[in-house]
Chain A
Amino acid sequence: MMTMRNLLLLAVALALLVIVPPFLGLGWQNMLVNVLIASLFALAFNLLIGQAGLLSFGHAAYFGVGAFAALHLMRAIEGGLPFPTPLVPLAGAAAGLLIGLIAGYFATMRSGVYFALVTLAIAELFHSLAPQLEGVFGGESGISSMRMPWNGIVFGSMLEVYYLTLAWVLVCGLALWAYTRTPFGRLTLALRDNEQRVRFLGYSAHTAKVIIFTVSAMLTAVAGSLQAISIETANYSLFASNVSAQVVLQTFVGGSTVFFGPVIGATAFTLFSFLVSDLTRSWVFYQGLIFVLVMLYVPTGIGGVIQHHIHNRRQLDWRNMAGHYVLAFVGALLLTAGVVFLTETVAVLFGEDYAMVRHNAEGGLPPFELFGASWNPTGLLTWLLPIVLLIGGGALLIRARRRISTIWDRKGPSNATATEPLLAGGAK
């Protein structure tokens, strides 16, 4: 169903990915490498949850296995093994395939929550074993290596790493996309929707699930080895549950029902942490807040919303709706400003620096600096401003949402896909 227009869009995106990075600073290049790796990780993960309906809580295991396998190969290359550096992720793929096959065989014997628990346990097994097995995982300090030159390419600069990563992510991403188009890919979808029926049709559901799991683990391991190539070290913290959790968050925020949804989620999260993590200590809180809000109001994720709009673009009265969307956007912006202002104010008031200022002021409440202005903690404006922002933004958003909802309802039943995504405005 690849239309000419989609193809063109893809070509433009690709061209941008190839042409722009040399003009970016080192920090942005590094961020892009992280985006690519996170995208591949999320895509591979989504093969399980989005396609097969299997929620894995332990994908860090395969990511880590890929990273360590790649590093061991890189060390061998450093030691003189004539192996081309750009093909190092093959080691990760092989290790991911093997471990995924074994782990998948056991994990996929069950579905649902039991499957999630088994995958969690497998990752935890790696996490607790790795620091003990010094030879393989290098203890808690991990193992490290250096990228060796190959065919005149030094792999010393970030840009070279970026292009290597880009090539691998594109190849793997395309392979994953193509996979969803094969008859077996269709069978995977059937597994998600009705496993019993698949069995009655004469397929071995377990075998099919093992194969999907293995493919997912293999590509996850490729993402892991790309990270190993990029940062040139790995330690057991790669197996930690927060790595597994991060990919779950990214996939769901991006939208697991759309093929490119995980890429959107991975990009959003990586960009967010790059831009915000050094600005404020509350960035983890904001990240959590975003996840909760997306799950509550847009369970199909950002990708789901976009897809829903694209599907219905011809039936919708855009001229009427655009204004309301702008209004909703402004409302959301005001609401965000209110939340950020309150959070940062609280962070300042209960922070160590302010405790020091208070100490010097002998227990008083001196004004504090925030967003380039001075605020009085007991002043009316300090608290009125966020309240006005919250109430104003909230009212605006609710109003706009109601209007948008009516317009969507007027349009009549959707002709979108079977997995009917909810609209941001809650079109039900």
Chain B
Amino acid sequence: MKRLAMIAATSAAALTASPLHAEPLKIGIIESLSGAQTSTGRLYANAVKYGVDRINEAGGFNGEPVVVTEYDNAGGAPDAADKFRNAVADGVDIIFQGASSAIAGQLTEDVRKHNLRNPGDEVIFINLGGEAMELTGEKCQFYHFRYTTTAPMRVNALVGAMKESGDLGTKVYSINQNYSWGQDMQAAAAAAAADGGYTVVDEVLHDVNKIQDFAPFVARISSAAPDTVFTGNWSNDLLLLMKAAGDAGLDVTFATAFLDQPGNIANAGKTAIGHYIANNYDNAATDGKFAEDYKTATGHYPIFVEGHSAFALGALQQALGTVDFGGGDIDVTKIALALENTTYETPLGPVSVRKEDHQTIRPVVVSKVVENPKYPADETNMGFETVKVIAGEDAIYPVQDSCKMERPAE
């Protein structure tokens, strides 16, 4: 048995022994790369890779190219926790993830515990798409950075822009999916009522991605006779809702958050025209230079979440430019501190990190579906036309009281 232990010990040592050269920065993408959310997970992974390629083109970091590894979380939080450990075993320094708030919640907790238990060997989590308020509220922590909007940012932008263009009206209906994101959207729509000069005539929360026929909901909306319907619905829940409203001939404007998800415009058809969306990025809102660059590198214009995810990498690249480990050990905490102090100029305006809760202060784009736009969506003749770009400082909301962040000793 002693010999066996010896063999095991020597082979383990051989496995862990590393050649002597500069430590590369390791990035892990823990995304939904198989299962129902694959298409969205793929887009996040694309954008991260695009951003890392830019960093490496500019000479990498710490004297080495930045290494990217993809981990498939199969769309589930337990799998994500498992993949997080694999990533840690591989020595990953920064983790990126976007599809699903539940997984973001899992990862931020995993990162927090890992950092507590392994001081000096920390990991940063850059959240590209988990919009649940609790991630910068109850669960807020120093090593989590949210490079996307949240419900109040989207709703406030929609209310401001739609009011200006005269499409908002005075009666608002709110229909959302019954989980934290939908509840956040509902609360945000109610909170913005006074500023928007409207009343919320009714609020509905429904099951997530289980409803096949939205006709009963549309009948309820119809009887309340609103001017605008606010919804945070995504995927089928948005598509079927809009189709049912179109079939019933309902004359309302939809104010949405995820109308730009690939396939939505093509599937909704003409029903989609005139409806609004507030999101992080839209090609039409820029001078088009970034969009062309992205197309040259990847073969297509940035769609859905790709634009703002690439900007997160841009911010990281800028932050990395301010730290120098001289080819030695990478101190992740220093990178996190640099990221806090980074203001990155996107084509839409500056993106900076709010130190109290690590929510980014970022511009929000409000667009409207029109025919023959500059950048058609889903190979149709429809697409988005920019109504207004709301600057970061106007879109941001106060820090939540529940956020009590423990900062590392400096």
Contact = CB atoms under 8 A, between A and B. Distances in A.
Co-complex (A, B): yes
B5 interface: yes
B109 A232 contact: yes
Given A15-B1, A141-B132, A142-B106, A23 B78 contact: no
Chain A interface mostly: helix
Contacts of A178: none
A23 B1 contact: no
Nearest to A24: B12
B102 A284 contact: no
B380 to A, nearest CB: 20
Contact of A141 (B76, B101, B210): B101
Nearest to A147: B113
Most buried by B among A15, A142, A242, A277: A277
B289 interface: no
B3 to A, nearest CB: 12
Interface in A227-259: 227, 231-235, 237-238, 240, 242
A4 B303 CA distance: 66
A27 B86 CA distance: 5
B156 to A, nearest CB: 24
A146 B113 contact: yes
B109 A156 contact: no
A242 B35 CA distance: 10
B5 A26 contact: no
A30 B34 contact: no
A369 interface: no
B88 interface: yes
A15 to B, nearest CB: 7
Contacts of A235: 77-78, 102, 105-106
Interface stretch (B55-63, B66-74, B261-269, B341-349): B66-74
B179 A131 contact: yes
A242 B1 CA distance: 41
B2 to A, nearest CB: 10
B409 interface: no
B134 A30 contact: no
Contacts of B72: 277-278, 281, 283
Contacts of B5: 19, 23
Most buried by B among A16, A157, A227, A356: A356
B188 interface: no
A28 B16 CA distance: 12
Nearest to A12: B1
Most buried by A among B12, B70, B299: B299
A356 B298 contact: yes
B194 interface: no
A418 interface: no
A157 B113 CA distance: 11
Contacts of A240: 76
A220 B78 CA distance: 16
A359 B300 CA distance: 9
Interface string A327-369: 0000000000000000000000000100110011000000000
Interface string A105-142: 00000000000000000000000100110000001111
Nearest to B114: A156
B82 A132 contact: no
A34 B89 CA distance: 15
B180 A356 contact: no
A233 B109 contact: yes
Nearest to A155: B117
B73 to A, nearest CB: 10
A180 interface: no
Interface string B11-39: 11001100000000000000001100000
A352 B46 contact: yes
Interface string A1-42: 000000000000001100110011111101000100000000
Interface string B108-121: 01100100010000
A274 B74 CA distance: 13
Interface of A: 15-16, 19-20, 23-28, 30, 34, 128, 131-132, 139-142, 144, 146, 156-158, 227, 231-235, 237-238, 240, 242, 274, 277-278, 281, 283-284, 352, 355-356, 359-360
18 contacts: A15-B1, A19-B1, A19-B4, A19-B8, A25-B12, A26-B89, A140-B208, A141-B102, A142-B102, A231-B82, A233-B110, A235-B105, A277-B72, A278-B69, A281-B33, A283-B72, A356-B299, A360-B299
| 7 nearest CB pairs, A to B | A27-B89, A356-B299, A26-B89, A141-B105, A231-B81, A23-B12, A23-B8
